[in-house]
Amino acid sequence: MQKIVAALALTGAAAYVAPVAPKATSSLNSKAELEALAMSNTDALGQSMGFWDPLGLADGNFWGLGNEGTIGYLRHAEIKHGRIAMAGFLGFMAGCTPLVSGEHALAPYRGYVAGVSPQEQWDNIPQAGKLQIIAFVGMLESYGEGAGSLSGRTAGDGYVHYTKGGLPGYYPPIAGLGGPGGQILFNLYQPFPIFPEQSEQAKERGRRVEVNNGRLAMLGLMSLLSASAVPGSVPALDLVEGFPQYSGNVMIPFEGSFSLF
């Protein structure tokens, strides 16, 4: 588990792509290609980010996936964690604004309390609401993992899993799926296709930018949670007047309010 957690921050990766089924040759999942990708990834000053793998994860073989399958798994995991962290960072910021945490004419959910921290907003959501959120995320995850087996469906056409040579970070189209009648109306990537198709060069740059932003967001989100729980742990945030404090445990999101019975 420690190796997997460390991999999320240490392994090089590529990410966001438009919903066009990727070819296996674009996966960059061999160690040599991974090193080349990491060395070519640059920061805002144009300096190479370098390749850093002190635990030797790029030589691993997790769960019998083989080395290339393991690299694909680790890269995909980092990309997804980066995306979640970006959403979480922005969500925390939004949850501190009066627009979200202030008084509402119609309460967003039963038990809503105005003027609390983002973590307390989650705590106040009823158990049924939390279960709905988790079920929805699980549904999206299942489509992303199993779309290749949906023969005859748009999402399955040409889809290759990221542990089998597919492009890490790729999420297949899901519009038209979701049971009888195609209950899912939009794709996660470009739900409204109003922007022109990007060139391959622009897509490649976008993947690298997303990975860098995701890594920064992981650090940023942890800094927000740390400053909320331990005042003074992030000196820069001490300068923010009224920064929200939280006495609960964000690692136990159902503490005191979750039961199957």
Domain ranges across the chain: 2-131+166-172+196-239
Q: Which of the four pLDDT bands, split at 50, 70 and 90, describes residue 73?
A: very high
- For tokens 């490649």, name the residue: 204
Question: Is residue 21's pLDDT more than 90?
Answer: no
Alpha helices, H only, 147-197? none
Q: Which of the four pLDDT bands, split at 50, 70 and 90, describes residue 83?
A: very high
CB 70 within 8 A of CB 61: yes
- For tokens 């106040």, name the residue: 124
* DSSP category for residue 22: P
Higher pLDDT, 34 or 16: 34
CB 85 within 8 A of CB 214: yes
Distance separating alpha carbons of residues 118 and 244, to the nearest angstrom? 8
Q: What's residue 5's pLDDT?
A: 37
Whole-number average pLDDT of the chain: 80
Q: What's residue 255's pLDDT?
A: 62
Q: What's residue 208's pLDDT?
A: 87
* Among 179, 176, 195, 201, residue whose Cα is nearest residue 187: 176
Distance separating alpha carbons of residues 177 and 234, to the nearest angstrom? 45
DSSP lists the bridge partners of residue 144 as none
Name residues whose C-beta falls within 8 Å of residue 32's C-beta, 6 or more positions apart in sequence: none
Q: How many CA atoms lie within 13 A of 37 on its CB side?
A: 24
Question: Is residue 2's pLDDT more than 60?
Answer: no
Q: What is the pLDDT of residues 155-196, one digit of tens each?
A: 445 678 888 888 899 888 888 776 677 777 888 887 887 888
Question: Is residue 43's pLDDT more than 60?
Answer: yes
CB 153 within 8 A of CB 178: no
Higher pLDDT, 95 or 12: 95
Q: What is the pLDDT of residues 28-37, one digit of tens each?
A: 678 888 888 8
